[in-house]
Amino acid sequence: MKHFMRMVVKVWIYFYCICLWRFLKFILRKLTGRCELQRICYKNKPGAGRTLKIESSLKSSKSKLLQNAPAAHPDAIEKTIEDILTLKKVNLDTNPQLAVSLQACLLQIVGYRNLTVEIEKLRREAFDSEDPQHEEMLLKLWKALKPNVPLEARISKQWCEIGFQGDDPKTDFRGMGLLGLYNLVYFAEKDPTSALQILSDSLQPKSRDANKEEFSKMSKTEWEMKKFDKAIGYSFAIVGINITDLAYNLLISGALKTHLYNVAPEAPTLHHFQQTFCFLMHEFHKFWIEEDPLDIMEFNRVRNKFHKHILKQLQNTDMALCPHFAASESLINL
């Protein structure tokens, strides 16, 4: 009975808050002469802060037109904006900027939704060794990471040199499908200097502690350097697939909206997602070294801690995880 009463109270509070919020919106509309969408656009700068508020306003509206706007087809966005402005009785002659601002927000909202569909499709597509395009992309990865070392055979222990678990990488792509391969190739080709450096670092095992005999032979400088040795060794490709999974979960959960709405002036694309993956690889590598784990068995602990670290950053609506990337340079004041 107590449980039932608690549920009743929660439902009552929920509907009370909705009614109260709609009443406040009505009062604000009368006082300011502006609808909620206008107030958001005029009081917030372009980026995640504005777009997230517009998205929330659309989804919580009692109008079906506004509720369905986030699911509009990209080609129908202009028409959707026109219908919204007509419904809200907004005079474009006195509010010319509103249509432009709303269109920018809706392009981001619809683009994010479409990006999740595209990413999910790539994740679900399994690596097929019978598909020439899949095989070609896998060989691209080898050539990018081992430019001076020919691959002796398609099935080879050489794959372990770039961080795969066995002699055939296709088994390692099961969790993330083609998405994992796409991201690794993108990183290796678009940022080869960093990719090769991280690969080289990942092959370095944790230095063992010196015994008394070795310590007696060390100079003070050598000992000081050894004290700061960090654990690095991990499987580069496997970690790349794991970071792909992390980026995928950030995207699907909506946590990545903060970042993508700040770096993509219009619709976020696969390019933006892959740049985010590159950033996460950079950051995880630094995080792994700073955490100084005993061995690879601590990977899940370090990964979970890193995930929480990124989530905390994304709670800030002004956050752009990788503002130095080219995508963010085109962010304009719409």
Q: What is the pLDDT of residues 306-315, one digit of tens each?
A: 999 999 999 9
Residue 137 has pLDDT above 90, yes or no: yes
Q: What is the pLDDT of residues 15-34, one digit of tens each?
A: 555 554 454 545 544 445 46
Poorest-pLDDT segment among 37-51, 215-229, 243-257, 299-313: 215-229
Domain segments of the chain as ranges: 32-123, 127-208+217-330
Give mean pLDDT, residues 222-243.
71
Q: Count how many Cα atoms sit within 13 Å of the Cα of residue 225 in the half-sphere of its side chain.
A: 5
**Alpha-carbon gap, residue 81 to 99, rounded angstroms:** 7
Give mean pLDDT, residues 72-85.
92
**Alpha-carbon gap, residue 95 to 18, rounded angstroms:** 28
Q: What is the 3-state secondary structure (H, E, C) of 153-188?
A: CCCCHHHHHHCCCCCCHHHHHCCCHHHHHHHHHHHH
Q: What is the pLDDT of residues 151-167, one digit of tens each?
A: 999 999 999 999 999 99
Residue 293 has pLDDT above 70, yes or no: yes
Give mean pLDDT, residues 66-87.
92
**Alpha-carbon gap, residue 52 to 296, rounded angstroms:** 38
| Axis crossing angle, helix 96-124 with helix 36-43, rounded to the nearest 10 | 90
Quote the percentage of the chain above a pLDDT of 70.
78
Taking the complete model, does pTM exceed 0.95, yes or no?
no
Give mean pLDDT, residues 212-235.
54
User: Is residue 61 very low, low, confident or very high in pLDDT (cuts 50, 70, 90)?
Assistant: confident
Residue 60 has pLDDT above 50, yes or no: yes
